[in-house]
Structure 1
Amino acid sequence: MASHLDLEEQEQLDQLKHFWTRYGNAITWVLIVILAGVAAWNGYQYWQRTQAAQASALYDELERAAIAQDVQKIARVQEDLRAKYGRTTYAAQGSLLAAQLLSEKGNNDAATAALTWVINEGSDDGIKAVARLRLVSLQIEAKAYDDALKTLSTSVPREFEALAADRKGDVLALQGKADEAVVEYRKAYKSLDLRTEYRRLVEAKLNALGVDVKDGAATQNEDKK
């Protein structure tokens, strides 16, 4: 009886050896890929948490520097954020904050560089849209109207479309292209909520270009039909 069991066990062992010889390498590689994927995912989650915590600490330092109006420290911390944690939202937000203070201090070149970095390297479309609109303001201030129109040529998330149209209207109006400016202002006017103060500002711009507000409202009602 024992001999019979030994023979059966030997047969099973031989079959297992044959199976492993034939498929063992493939199975091993599949397991390696699966386990490596799990390890990478866990590692990535840990990396994200660690990166976010460290980036948050640097961003807090940047805010303190902004309150203190320490331009040199802002520039230094901003560079650290971008170099070490460029893939985090804190890096983009930090560059926005730095750009604001640099602009207030009259350093528009550095502010432009900070905003351009957000536009090119940022991962959040909303933050990139904010950077784009702020960059347009600097370009308008510098009378770089063609550059401003180029900045506005890229699509933005829906919630920023009215603001982008308004800014485009500003650029076109400054270029003396009143008819084209009216088209953009109308877009902004129709997209903005009736209760927002910003809509009244766009309304005033339309009035300044000889467009009757009631006419603009009528156009809006016609578009809704």
Structure 2
Amino acid sequence: MSELFDEVDEEVRREQLKKLWERYSIFIVAGALLIIAAVGGWRGYQYFEAKKAAEAGAAFEAAADLSEQNKHTEAEAAFTKLVATAPYGYRVLARLRAAAEVAFRDPQAAAKLYDDIAADRSVGAPEQDLARIRAAGLLLDTTSYPTMRQRLESATAPDATYRHTARELLALSAWRANDTAAARQWLEMIANDGETPASLRSRAEALQALLPPVAKS
């Protein structure tokens, strides 16, 4: 008797499933197709993004080779093209390298390009600081110490990526302006930072030796 009931239950279940399939099969099939399409689209997106990155990487290396061959005009054009066409990461690097190429023919124009990068909030903080420092390096001989300090002071913070170079530039600028107190301030900051690179520390010590001795009270 129990086997009979089991057969009846099984038949009922099959009939219920049949009715559910007839009612909802179009939605089930459509959902499955959407999932397949979404996965395929994502895979396709990943493929094309990887392809674009590989192409941008090859183009970036080719532009860098032009620069190493002192073909700065061609390198500038190649990096500028990458700025317009490359994925985000390569685009930022290409902007920095394009500005470096411009510096060979027009330091003031290159400094402006670096300033544009430093002011771009879509660019990461380390890249912004690097742009500030490169612009300041180009303008060191022609810019007053107060202006240099305004440009670079934010990049001298203890956690700033390029703080060592920023401090050195400010020490040099203060020394050129005969602001001994300011030069000594930055040189002491360099000396007291345990992570200061050895080569930069040596340069700072050499500059420190050029400063007049501290007046005794």
Query: Scaled by the length of structure 1, what TM-score is found?
Result: 0.67
Distance 2:72 2:115 in 1: 18
**1:46-65 → structure 2 map (5 Å cutoff):** 46-65=47-66
Q: Residue 62 of structure 1 contacts residue 94 of structure 1 at CA under 8 Å; is this kept in 2?
A: no
Q: Secondary structure at the match of 1:11?
A: helix
Instruction: Report the identity percentage.
Output: 16
Q: Identify if the C-alpha distance between structure 1 residues 200 and 50 changes in structure 2 by more than 3 Å, giving closer, same or farther.
A: same
Mean Cα deviation higher: 132-141 or 40-49: 40-49
Q: 2:192 matched to 1:186?
A: no
Q: How many pairs does the alignment contain?
A: 203
1:194 CA drift (Å)? 7.8
Distance 2:47 2:203 in 1: 47
Q: 2:50 matched to 1:45?
A: no
Q: Secondary structure at the match of 2:153?
A: coil
2:14 pairs with 5, 9, 19, which one?
A: 9
1:195 CA drift (Å)? 7.6
Q: Secondary structure at the match of 1:88?
A: helix
State the superposition RMSD in angstroms. 3.9
Unaligned runs of 5+ in 2: none
Distance 2:36 2:116 in 1: 37
Q: Kindly provide the CA deviation profile for residues 103-158 of structure 1, in whole angstroms up to 9, marking residues without a partner as x.
A: 233x1133224433543377565554433221111122332544433331334754
1:184 CA drift (Å)? 1.7
Distance 1:194 1:207 in 2: 18
1:168 pairs with 167, 170, 173, which one?
A: 170
Q: Which amino acid aligns with 1:154?
A: S
Distance 2:183 2:87 in 1: 37
Q: Identify if the C-alpha distance between structure 1 residues 54 and 116 changes in structure 2 by more than 3 Å, giving closer, same or farther.
A: farther
Mean Cα deviation higher: 132-141 or 172-181: 172-181
Partner residue in 2 for 1:130: 130
Distance 1:102 1:32 in 2: 50
Unaligned runs of 5+ in 1: 213-225
Mean Cα deviation higher: 76-85 or 94-103: 94-103
Q: Identify if the C-alpha distance between structure 1 residues 122 and 204 changes in structure 2 by more than 3 Å, giving closer, same or farther.
A: farther
Query: Scaled by the length of structure 2, what TM-score is found?
Result: 0.69
Task: Please identify the structure whose Cα radius of gyration is greater.
Answer: 2
Q: 2:205 matched to 1:200?
A: no
Partner residue in 2 for 1:104: 104
